[in-house]
Amino acid sequence: MRVDVEFQERYWYPDDGGVVWVSGYHPIDAGGRFLAREALPDELIVSHVAGAVHRPEALASDDAAPGRPLTLRAEPDNPHDPNAVAVLLASGEPVGYVPRDVAPLVGSGWSAVVLRERRDSPRDPRTGLTMLLARDGELELNVR
């Protein structure tokens, strides 16, 4: 599936306070307007990578950069959550999980790509990732 995106870098001010640097891609419509999560087609989901903050070595990898592919691996034997879906970098290194509320929606055949990265500032290490998940096969970002 090919998804139109635009590159964006900006500071973000979360409701819980603080400042976050966000860099990466944002889905857009045919007219070039940003698409909110609720406006995405049913076969696409935008979500953070849960637990990525606990894997700084994975976040430091070039494979965690926006636009890089991710691998999704179901973990039905996970003792904490039988619906767990691990998120791995292209190198095979684990970086986190599909969030618990999204995991039941993600089955076999879904693909993922790093959409955005979070940092405290442009010079600081990554502190988190946002991914784009697609239901049908391989996912390609079309930068406009």
> In this structure, are strands 20-27 and 2-12 parallel, antiparallel, or unpaired?
antiparallel
Q: Are 4 and 33 contacting, i.e. CB atoms less than 8 angstroms apart?
A: no
Provide, rounded to the nearest whole percent, the portion of the chain with pLDDT above 70. Answer: 100
pLDDT in tens, 49-92: 999 999 999 999 999 999 999 999 999 999 999 999 999 999 99
Domain count, the chain: 1
Give the end-to-end CA distance of the chain in Å, rounded to a whole number: 16
pLDDT attached to residue 20: 87
Arithmetic mean of pLDDT over the chain: 94
What is the residue range of 124's domain?
Answer: 2-143
pLDDT attached to residue 14: 80
pLDDT in tens, 88-107: 999 999 999 999 999 999 98
Question: pLDDT grade, residue 25 (50/70/90)?
Answer: very high
pLDDT attached to residue 18: 79
Strand, helix or coil for residue 78: coil
Question: pLDDT grade, residue 38 (50/70/90)?
Answer: very high
Q: Are 5 and 28 contacting, i.e. CB atoms less than 8 angstroms apart?
A: yes
- Tell which wins on pLDDT, 123 or 93: 93
Q: How far apart are CA 134 and CA 37, in angstroms?
A: 13
The pTM (predicted TM-score) of the whole model is 0.92
